Amino acid sequence: MRIYIGSDHRGISLKKELIEYLKKQNIEVFESAILNKEDDDYPDFAFDVSKKVVKDPNSLGILICGNGIGISIAANKVKGIRCARVTSEEDVYHAKTHNGANIISFGGISFEEAKKFVNLFISTMPAEEERHLRRIKKIIAYESEVYK
């Protein structure tokens, strides 16, 4: 399992804690190559992590910003990404099983809550039900400009 992770300046400490935690779980973790600074911009991290997840289809991504919204919007501009901003374990579960999310985003949560979200995201099987797969295929078709 490979995880790509990135955050803007508002998520640096949580990102570092998660990287350390995931490495202790024997998970390969790759931090965004974009350097954090006081006035960095969340789209830079979203695009960097998203492009890596697209190139590595068996991987997952984690993005962190002030509230998780802006970074998820930016991530979803990258073809092949289905990023869900999550605020509960139910969100995480449905993002993966219903929407085929390959990246989750959040912000302003505790390390303990983030660990729960990440553990569930990693351990939950992707969408398998026909109705969910049909919907995901429509999203893929639209972004590939073949949706009818």
The residues that are catalytic are 65, 98
Structure tokens at 121: 């995201």
Are 50 and 75 in contact by the 8 Å Cβ rule? The answer is yes
Burial class (CB in 10 A: 0-12, 13-18, 19+), 67: middle
Closest CA to 4 of 17, 22, 12: 22
What is the distance between the terminal CA atoms of the chain, rounded to a whole angstrom? 35
What gap in Å lies between CA 96 and CA 130, rounded to an integer?
A: 14
